[in-house]
Structure 1
Amino acid sequence: MGLGDDKKKKCMIAGGISALLVVMVVSVAVATSKNTSGPIKHGDSQIKTTTKAVQAVCEPTDYKETCVHSLMAASPNSTQPLDLIRLGFNLTINSIHQGIKKAAHELKARAEKDPETKGALDLCQELMIDAIDDLKKCFDKFDGFNLNEAEEFVEDLRVWLSGSIAFQQTCMDTFEEIKSDLAQEMAKIFKTSKELTSNGLAMVSGLSMLLPQFNITGVRGDLGSYARKLLSTEDGFPTWMRPEARKLMAAKGTKVKPNAVVALDGSGQFKSINAALKTVPMKNKFPFVIYIKQGIYKEKVDVTKTMSYVTFIGDGPTKTRITGNLNFGMGKVKTYQTATVAVNGEHFTAKDIGFENTAGPKGHQAVALRVSADYAVFHNCQIDGYVDSFYANCQIDGYQDTLYAHSHRQFYRDCTISGTIDYIFGDAKSFFQNCNMVVRKPMGGQSCMVTAQGRTDKRETTGIVLHNCRITGDPAYIPVKKTNKAYLGRPWKQFSRTIIMRTTIEDIIDPKGWLEWNGNFALDTLEYAEFENKGPGSNQATRVKWPGIKKFTPRQAGEFTAGKFLQGGTWIPQTQVPYLGNM
């Protein structure tokens, strides 16, 4: 992070202080749960007590009737907030399972006759299983709860619930994408699970407001011990840092020995990346480095959820390239499935490597890279679409829908992302630092949008943040910039959030700045902000005046730094990627 020891300590202490309220709230709930939990005896007084507890835990939710009905029907054996919230996660999991079965049964006949419907249904089922997996992580997080990890506890729950929402929404988008009349039917089938997931996020987000209603007094633990834990060190590194992370940090400046080497010329252990990925231990917990030598690898690569802590290292973003050409225009393939490289395993890192989709503008949606992994980091990589030129450092390049930052926590450093329509899109908690966003020449009559963020719930932690970046145009785009206008972004979903800070914006962005998606859709509920940007395209004098456009103070902007927004200091430095946590 580039901080001295004193500054590091101050940052850790500040983080501990900011977490005090969360620590108090959660520790109170845990302490009282031990004293009063247990089977609730039947009787009017017990029913009233349970009803009161359920109503209180459901108070912050948007779907209160669904919340109260589902919890009461489950006959909870505890009135404590965390127990009820955890029960809610389990009910949501069951609801999605029931929805999958119902959809398979009711749409079976249609799917057998229509390949597009079958493809959408199959993908939807996969996505719903992924949504369940995020909910299971939330459920399991309660086991072995540690007071000192309260801040991480709440943050993880919010990220994973946001991830579950993203997977469920992508299922719905799959049917919308093929313009199927079954889209509304699917929405009805999964209506309850969607509401329950939203309620879970609301309950977790509302813990600090919820618990005082239970007249609980006394707090176990103290901030001093929490801060001391953060500040204590072992071999020069914080004690909370994982052993494998300490090993990598200690090796900084030295070449890491790869676990597998891929080379087209046969000089490595494998000739394909997929072959190397098969050697990653199941549910791996240690860094597994795959060195991919110079060459063009024509593969569709899937880093599955069982392949965690995988690192790709190439010989340079224009030398080591993974290429494909799947696209929506060819039919039978949904946008989600077009990715040349799909990253699903958590703690994935990529350095000095290129990813591309060569479908070109006529292919419409053609994803070069889709990232659904938690704790994903990209540095000095290149992610391309149909390539006719290259850029320095890490490049994410294409035409429509180039980078699908789908879900969970993601950090991009020194990257170049290029494209035309919505070429950075998705519902991840994604942060771009020191990156180049390059607008390319679209087809006739098309406009260009750098971002299209897809937040569907106002409490989701997600958003696209550009910090210290540069927004520019490809040389081929400059002559058509007045007819094929470019914009910072447009709202893909109702609560779309994009923040652009201290970024150089060249004169290729239209003065209005942002573009509508469809009429007045989301203009009141989106959250867009520009803070301390520079360059001829950064003048906000004639920007659109939508209700959702924000004017940030320095303090508000500070909430969207990598240290705050991603809590990046706890996981990014261990990847040995340059990282600035503050403004």
Structure 2
Amino acid sequence: MPPPRTKHRPLLLATTFLSLLLLLSLLSAAHRAFAVADDDGHRARVLLAGDGERNADADHAAAVDRHCAGTLHRDVCVSTLSTIPNLAQKPLRDVISVVVGRAASAVRASSSNCTSYLLRPRQLRMRDRLALSDCLELFGHTLDLLGKAAAELSAGNSTAEESVAGVQTVLSAAMTNQYTCLDGFAGPSASEDGRVRPYIQGRIYHVAHLVSNSLAMVRRLPQRQRGRSLRANEPLEGYGRVRRGFPSWVSASDRRRLQQQGGGGGVAADVVVAKDGSGKFTTVSEAVAAAPNNSETRYVIYIKAGGYFENVEVGSEKTNIMFVGDGMWKTVIKASRNVVDNSTTFRSATLAVVGTGFLARDITVENAAGPSKHQAVALRVNADLSAFYRCSFAGYQDTLYAHSLRQFYRDCDIYGTVDFIFGDAAVVLQNCNLYARRPDPNQKNVFTAQGREDPNQNTGIAIQGCKVAAAADLVPVQANFSSYLGRPWKTYSRTVFMQSKIDSLIHPRGWLEWNGSFALDTLYYAEYMNRGDGANTSARVSWPGYHVLTDATDAANFTVLNFVQGDLWLNSSSFPYILGLS
């Protein structure tokens, strides 16, 4: 029998239906709640990511500002660093390495540009072709220098003073190379239509500006400060007394070679050059060509007495070469290239030295072009760690082209008229005789024309313990010509005369303008404890950049020890030198 019907069943169904509706409503609300929560979480994640990106951008911008502070070409710096990933996390050395790498890429582009122009069928004047060839050579040297800088920076030796000084040295030279390229298009025989230099200079300036920014950053690398003013007899830790000492880059065997008395006959030479056929070669160029490439040991070329009429180049691959002659004016290398006859100044050198570690002793190098031929170089040196002892260099305008890198001259005689010691090396001349010759009518004698383009280059000319005098041909007519210690070839020209004997030929003003007020407030010219009739500083120029030094600490910045780090390399040369002040 079926269960009895009841009157409460409709109510039960209604209650069940309402319960289902409530459950569905709760589920729907829960779904909406989870959806909203998920959407809010997504938005939160997006907001957090956006904040992170904004923070990263801010950190990157702050790093750009920090690294570009103090650079001379900020727009180039900002555009360069803005594209470096994770800049804020990179140490300064790595940042500089990136900029150096960008400079190398720019050099390759500039080289390609010059090559394409040189190969164009249009007529180029001989001087322009030579200038473009100079540029290509200089670009090749620049890539080598930038490679050395990158290697030193990647070594991670962040506190060693010699490491930082080495980077400054090669970067300074890399910059000098760019301006030397452009200098080749100036002068009496340069192209008058102006088509060559404007075509190439934009890329070259870009390289120079990248290198300039690198130099500014390098100055902020931590380094050990020497801060010492060595006297002649003061012992230098690790090297003993320096009265008859040598910088450490000169080996003991080289020291013996360089200190031997008399001619080169007593030197154990690897090869002999003799005009009379008694040696293996009759020309110096043949002997250089036969020398080993990239030698890590000293290779000695003995050049017997005689006149060798040739232009000699010691290329970058010819490292650690040494020339030994039979004495000044006995062994003579002589030529006469000059700017008037369509050479560039860079290419005019009788002897051009590029290979690192070059030494020379007891020889004369002469450019016999004469005063009317304008720029005519006897010796050009763009070789690092190069030294010359008991040598003479004779010419008129631009005799000694101390082009770049670290150089040292001891007991040498230098003859010339206009700007006859010039260039942008870090160079110390010690115990040398500097002789002004008789110039052409209406010319003035100027002993130095230093070529520093950037305040962060560690370059300049330091003349210590030398004699500044008139040559025999000038003495009778000395009153007819004015002679000056120097003039500013480039914006940050830097030259110091210290502890030297300055004769009466020097004009009371001491220094000469280059062109009006150019560089007078940016140059650095100084005199320290000089003597002689021309050493009185009371009537000297009043330029902002001229200084009379009275503090030995200031003068010590331009000694062999501090200016060319001579304690690290001269010892192997066997040439005598004084590390500090005498």
Q: Same fold (TM over 0.5)?
A: yes
**SS of match in other structure, 1:481:** helix
- TM-score of the pair, normalised by structure 1: 0.82
Aligned residues: 503
Who is 2:316 aligned against?
305
Structure 2 CA distance, aligned partners of 1:518 and 1:279?
Answer: 46
Structure 2 CA distance, aligned partners of 1:408 and 1:70?
Answer: 27
Closer/same/farther in 2, CA of residues 351 and 202 from structure 1, 3 Å limit: same
CA contact (8 A) 1:481 1:508 kept: yes
Who is 2:38 aligned against?
none
Closer/same/farther in 2, CA of residues 467 and 250 from structure 1, 3 Å limit: closer
CA contact (8 A) 1:401 1:424 kept: yes
Cα RMSD (Å) = 2.5
Who is 2:392 aligned against?
382
CA contact (8 A) 2:93 2:154 kept: no
Q: Does 1:117 align with 2:128?
A: yes
Task: List aligned pairs for 1:389-428, cutoff 5 A.
Answer: 397-428=394-425
Structure 1 CA distance, aligned partners of 2:540 and 2:574?
Answer: 39
**SS of match in other structure, 1:142:** helix
Aligned mate of 1:531, from 522, 528, 534:
528
Who is 2:180 aligned against?
170
Offset, 1:107: 6.9
| Counterpart residue identity of residue 182, structure 2 | M
Of 477-486 and 151-160, more deviation after overlay is shown by 477-486
CA contact (8 A) 1:573 1:579 kept: no
- TM-score of the pair, normalised by structure 2: 0.82
1:462-505 CA-to-partner distances (Å, cap 9, x unmatched) read 11111000111022212332322111111001111110001111
Closer/same/farther in 2, CA of residues 102 and 270 from structure 1, 3 Å limit: closer
1:110-159 CA-to-partner distances (Å, cap 9, x unmatched) read 85443333322222222222222211110111344446x71111000111
| Counterpart residue identity of residue 565, structure 2 | Q
Task: List aligned pairs for 1:257-336, cutoff 5 A.
Answer: 257-331=268-342, 333-336=343-346
Q: Does 1:68 align with 2:60?
A: no
Structure 1 CA distance, aligned partners of 2:556 and 2:299?
Answer: 34
Who is 1:3 aligned against?
none
Aligned mate of 2:468, from 471, 488, 507:
471
Structure 2 CA distance, aligned partners of 1:529 and 1:272?
Answer: 42
Task: List aligned pairs for 1:469-508, cutoff 5 A.
Answer: 469-508=466-505
CA contact (8 A) 1:50 1:79 kept: no
1:370-417 CA-to-partner distances (Å, cap 9, x unmatched) read 01100110000122xxxxxxxxxxxxx211111111001010000111
**SS of match in other structure, 1:530:** strand
CA contact (8 A) 1:313 1:353 kept: yes
Structure 1 CA distance, aligned partners of 2:114 and 2:268?
Answer: 48
Who is 2:251 aligned against?
245
Larger CA Rg, structure 1 vs 2: 2
Of 104-113 and 427-436, more deviation after overlay is shown by 104-113
Offset, 1:232: 10
Who is 1:574 aligned against?
572
| Counterpart residue identity of residue 436, structure 2 | V
1:251-284 CA-to-partner distances (Å, cap 9, x unmatched) read 7867541111111112212212111112222211
Q: Structure 1 segments of 4 or more deviating over 6 A? A: 250-254
**SS of match in other structure, 2:145:** helix
Structure 1 CA distance, aligned partners of 2:576 and 2:329?
Answer: 20
Who is 1:542 aligned against?
539
CA contact (8 A) 2:359 2:573 kept: yes
**SS of match in other structure, 1:366:** coil
**SS of match in other structure, 2:534:** helix
Aligned mate of 1:186, from 167, 176, 200:
200
Q: Does 1:442 align with 2:439?
A: yes
| Counterpart residue identity of residue 319, structure 2 | S
Who is 2:456 aligned against?
459
Aligned mate of 1:199, from 207, 213, 222:
213
**Runs of 5+ unmatched residues, structure 2:** 1-51, 225-236, 261-265
Tell me which of the two structures has the higher relative contact order, counting C-alpha pairs closer than 8 angstroms and 6 or more residues apart: 2
Structure 1 CA distance, aligned partners of 2:273 and 2:449?
Answer: 35
1:34-63 CA-to-partner distances (Å, cap 9, x unmatched) read xxxxxxxx9444444333333322223111
**Runs of 5+ unmatched residues, structure 1:** 1-41, 210-218, 220-229, 384-396
**SS of match in other structure, 1:537:** coil
Offset, 1:188: 2.1
